[in-house]
């Protein structure tokens, strides 16, 4: 993570990187004093020799988040292994500052792992806990309740363990014929 940009008009963007170069890009950004955020998660691995290690892998493979002004975006593109800044068409599009700040402040508080990008499912809002204010899609995995939080702009998602009490159903999104899946989850 590099120094904060003092300008009030700096926004968060997603920089698309070469495969497996996210950590190197984050180092180059830090050297150039460009504020960046590379969310990592721990992945346990067993080597052939029986050793067990935990690897730190990017939560969003291929992306590093940068906080820059419109005029500083060119400095990001000069960093080796940065291909482009994500946007629609040729215009880079900024991310929701609140979502990035919440991820920065809360990732270390819960078990977080990458998850395939989802479009369908029951949408909920997290109303309590470290991820309060974010919304996502409900999912069950190995007996625990998870919410998949999606950053639509980069089509990436993360799964976060949550308590059922910390969720509220987003009523205007529920797919037809699903009733209240959240109520059914609390019973199972």
Q: Which CATH superfamily is domain 1-95 in?
A: NusG, N-terminal domain (3.30.70.940)
pLDDT in tens, the chain (188 residues): 545 445 678 999 999 999 999 999 999 999 999 999 999 998 888 888 989 998 999 999 999 999 999 889 999 999 999 999 999 888 899 998 888 998 888 888 778 888 766 554 678 888 888 888 888 888 766 666 778 888 878 888 888 888 777 777 776 644 444 444 444 444 44
DSSP character at residue 3: P
CATH class of 107-188: mainly beta
User: How long is the chain?
Assistant: 188
pLDDT value of residue 117:
67
Cα–Cα distance for residue pair 166/50, rounded to 1 Å: 40
Geometric angle at alpha carbon 107, from 106 and 112, rounded to 5°: 135
Domains 1-95 and 107-188 share a fold: no
Domain boundaries, the chain: 1-95, 107-188
Residue 121's closest CA among 176, 186, 188?
A: 176
Q: Give the whole-angstrom CA distance, residue 154 versus residue 79.
A: 20
Show Cβ contacts of residue 168 under 8 Å, excluding neighbours closer than 6 positions: 124, 125, 127
* Closest C-alpha among 39, 40, 41 to residue 14: 39
**What is the model's pLDDT at position 155?**
84
């Amino acid at each position: 993570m590099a120094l904060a940009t003092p300008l009030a008009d700096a926004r968060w963007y997603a920089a698309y990187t070469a495969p497996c170069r996210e950590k190197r890009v984050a180092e180059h950004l830090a050297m150039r004093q460009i504020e960046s955020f590379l969310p990592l998660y721990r992945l346990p691995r067993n080597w052939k020799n029986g050793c067990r290690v935990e690897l730190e892998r990017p939560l969003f493979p291929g992306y590093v988040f940068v906080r820059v002004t419109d005029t500083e975006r060119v400095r990001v593109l000069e960093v080796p292994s940065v291909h482009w800044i994500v946007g629609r068409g040729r215009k880079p599009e900024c991310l929701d500052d609140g979502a990035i700040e919440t991820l920065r402040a809360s990732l270390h508080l819960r078990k977080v792992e990458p998850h395939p990008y989802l479009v369908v499912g029951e949408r909920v809002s997290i109303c309590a806990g470290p991820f309060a204010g974010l919304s996502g899609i409900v999912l069950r995995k190995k007996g625990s309740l998870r919410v998949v939080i999606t950053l639509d702009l980069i089509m990436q998602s993360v799964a976060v363990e949550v308590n059922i009490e910390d969720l509220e159903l987003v009523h205007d999104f529920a797919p037809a014929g699903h009733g209240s899946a959240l109520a059914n989850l609390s019973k199972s």
